[in-house]
Amino acid sequence: MILSDILYKVPLQAVSGITDIEIENIVFDSRQVKNGSLFVAIGGTQVDGHNFIEKAIELGAKTILCERLPEVLQENITYLQVENSARTMGLLAANFYGNPSKKLKLVGVTGTNGKTSSVTLLFRLFRKLGYRCGLLSTVQNQIDDEIIPSTHTTPDSVKINELLHEMVQKGATYCFMEVSSHSVVQERIAGLHFAGGIFTNITHDHLDFHETFDNYIRAKKGFFDQLPASAFALVNTDDKNGKIMIQNTAARKESYSLRNIGSFKGKILACGLFGLQMDIDNREVWFKLIGAFNAYNLLGVYGAAVLLGENPDEVLMQLSDIQPPAGRFEQVVSQNHIVGIVDYAHTPDALKNVLETIVDLQEGNQQIITVVGCGGNRDATKRPIMAEIACKFSNRVFLTSDNPRNEDPMVILGQMEAGVSSIYMNKVQTIEDRHEAIFEAVKIARPQDIILVAGKGHETYQEIKGVKHHFDDKEVLQEAFDEIWKK
């Protein structure tokens, strides 16, 4: 594509060089540059992409998009100077791929917890309603039946536009995507045209990146601030920051609630291992998802579908038949009836919600045994809190590793242990190796006991020092059940 076409309606501070040149691709990593690339220099959390401009030119980049021009400009290279290169990259990527977000209805979901659950429900619902659909999520990206592996909750702006373009080519009329707070701050969603946005909730997470909770709120609000007037902004008003999200949005303000008034009202009638029984807009419905927190996800999804023009009765009928995504309250039951639950709870609020749900299901002298860890190179302040929550709601707790990444697992575990009150000391044990921790949990379990293995959900790896080793909580639980309890 010709550079001047990619620059259509893109604000630039300065241009040096010709713009009628062919651009092969847009890249923001010098290691991906090929002949004819447009290289975007972005300031990062580790290094500054501006340091790699020379390298990119050596490798064949003909155009450089940057915030600061190099001291010496090279001949035959076009330099574009802008205020914010990440944001501008979003605009260029959209133009490069023919603005695919305008050719389908794109709905984004943001919130600390419930994004994957909500977008997956929406994707499955709209497919059942007869539409071709796309999905961008933590678990996987998808175009109808085709599964495309996912590396981030929200990919970079070039990848998003490339995938949306492919969705449009394949006839998709809807795409449901997760909008992480990182993606808003890093402008990964710049230049996208949303038909709607949903806010699930905001609780403690990612303070390593945002530094303060106020900054975290501001990041999520940034998504709603950029929605167009034609979109809807649907927020959970039972979350105390729900209304803040839509203070400055141009979009149509809508709300959902189990406790307050709202555009979409719901009530939990019953909640058990069978799923949820709810009253939604005066209709009684049964769902297959477990846990009160899923009542919020279901209500938000219902509201969004109605706002997108679907018939409420049809929506509820189809939604009642949908399964949750992988690794969200997934059960593995042993032959002697020990109930294993694998759940992606990796924040204090998610862990509390899942454990409260399990406590509600607890009968007689059933024990709750929790296996949990906290990720390395991520918010360290949530570690002591999560350990204390695990102890508060469980009879026995095994603290263990969850993607230590580049940190020492024993340091992470020490920070978790520091949060455990002295009254709980006798029920908690630290076992660094996750495989061993799950096996120990299974060894001490009796029939009917519930073992929660939290934090990794659908993940099929344990990331240690940059290497992803195969690890699947469900597989390990099954293996432990088979080895220890199969007669």
Ligand X SMILES: N[C@H](CCC[C@H](N)C(=O)O)C(=O)O
333-362 per-residue burial string, b: 16 or more CB within 10 A, e: under 16: ebeeebbbbbbbbbbbbbbbbbbebbeebe
153 annotated ligand binder: yes
Options 38-46, 52-60, 192-200, 455-463: segment touching ligand X (CB under 6 A): 455-463
Q: Does 455 bind ligand X (CB under 6 A)?
A: yes
Q: Which does 455 bind (CB under 5 to 8 A by kind): ligand UAG, Mg ion, ligand X, none?
A: ligand X
> How far apart (Å, rounded) are the C-alpha atoms in residues 295 and 479?
32
Q: Is 49 or 340 the residue whose CB approaches ligand UAG more closely?
A: 49
Q: Residues 402, 440, 449, 473: which binds ligand X (CB under 6 A)? A: 402
- Tell me, residue by residue from 119 to 158, as one string, x for binding to ligand X by CB under 6 A and - for no binding: ----------------------------------x-----
173 annotated ligand binder: no
Q: Which does 350 bind (CB under 5 to 8 A by kind): ligand UAG, Mg ion, ligand ATP, none?
A: ligand ATP
Q: Is 153 or 353 the residue whose CB approaches Mg ion more closely?
A: 153
How far apart are CB 111 and ligand ATP at their closest, in Å?
Answer: 6
Q: Is 375 or 409 the residue whose CB approaches ligand X more closely?
A: 375
Two tokens at 178?
């997760």
Q: Is 138 or 183 the residue whose CB approaches Mg ion more closely?
A: 138
Query: Which residues in this chain contact ligand UAG in the complex, by CB under 6 A?
Result: 28-31, 42, 44-47, 49, 52, 152-154, 156, 180-183, 209
How far apart are CB 226 and ligand ATP at their closest, in Å?
Answer: 20
Q: Does 404 bind ligand X (CB under 6 A)?
A: no
Q: Does 400 bind ligand X (CB under 6 A)?
A: no
How far apart are CB 110 and ligand UAG at their closest, in Å?
Answer: 9
Q: 85, 65 in Cβ contact below 8 A?
A: yes
- Tell me, residue by residue from 350 to 389, as one string, x for binding to ligand X by CB under 6 A and - for no binding: -------------------------x--x-----------
Q: Does 114 bind ligand X (CB under 6 A)?
A: no
- Report the phi/psi class of residue 299: left, alpha or beta, with left for phi > 0 and alpha for psi in -120 to 50: alpha
> How far apart (Å, rounded) are the C-alpha atoms in residues 342 and 324?
12
How far apart are CB 203 and ligand UAG at their closest, in Å?
Answer: 12
How far apart are CB 375 and ligand X at their closest, in Å?
Answer: 2
Q: Is 464 or 484 the residue whose CB approaches ligand X more closely?
A: 464
How far apart are CB 205 and ligand X at their closest, in Å?
Answer: 7
Neighbours of 140 (CB within 10 A): 16
Three-state SS letters, the chain:
CEHHHHCCCCCCCEEECCCCCECCEEECCHHHCCCCEEEECCECCCCEHHHHHHHHHHCCCCEEEECCCCCCCCCCCEEEECCCHHHHHHHHHHHHCCCHHHCCEEEEEECCCCHHHHHHHHHHHHHHCCCCEEEECCCCEEECCEEECCCCCCCCHHHHHHHHHHHHHCCCCEEEEECCHHHHHCCCCCCCCCCEEEECCCCCCCHHHHCCHHHHHHHHHHHHHCCCCCCEEEEECCCCCHHHHCCCCCCEEEEEECCCCCCEEEEEEEEECCEEEEEECCEEEEECCCCHHHHHHHHHHHHHHHHCCCCHHHHHHHHCCCCCCCCCCEEEECCCCCEEEEECCCCHHHHHHHHHHHHHHCCCCCCEEEEECCCCCCCCCHHHHHHHHHHHHCCEEEECCCCCECCCHHHHHHHHHCCCCHHHHHHEEECCCHHHHHHHHHHHCCCCCEEEEECCCCCCEEEECCEEEECCHHHHHHHHHHHHHCC
Q: Which does 456 bind (CB under 5 to 8 A by kind): ligand X, ligand ATP, ligand UAG, none?
A: ligand X
Options 26-34, 113-121, 321-329, 396-404: segment touching Mg ion (CB under 5 A): 113-121
- Tell me, residue by residue from 34 to 53, as one string, x for binding to Mg ion by CB under 5 A and - for no binding: --------------------
Q: Which does 28 bind (CB under 5 to 8 A by kind): Mg ion, ligand UAG, ligand ATP, none?
A: ligand UAG
103 annotated ligand binder: no
283 annotated ligand binder: no
How far apart are CB 423 and ligand UAG at their closest, in Å?
Answer: 32
| Radius of gyration for the alpha carbons in the chain, expressed in angstroms and rounded | 24
Q: Is 111 or 455 the residue whose CB approaches ligand X more closely?
A: 455
Count of CA atoms in the C-beta half-sphere (13 A) of 392: 15
Q: Does 116 bind Mg ion (CB under 5 A)?
A: yes
Q: Does 138 bind Mg ion (CB under 5 A)?
A: yes
How far apart are CB 464 and ligand X at their closest, in Å?
Answer: 11
Locus of tokens 């199969």: 486
400 annotated ligand binder: no
> How far apart (Å, rounded) are the C-alpha atoms in residues 445 and 373?
19
112 annotated ligand binder: yes
Q: Which residue is nearest to ligand X (CB)?
A: 375
Residues tagged in the binding site annotation for meso-2,6-diaminopimelate: 378, 402-405, 455, 459
What does the binding site for Mg ion look like in residue numbers (CB under 5 A)? 115-116, 138, 153
Binding site membership: which residues?
A: 30, 111-117, 153-154, 180, 186, 188, 378, 402-405, 455, 459
Contacting residues toward ligand X, per CB under 6 A: 153, 346, 375, 378, 402-403, 455-456, 459
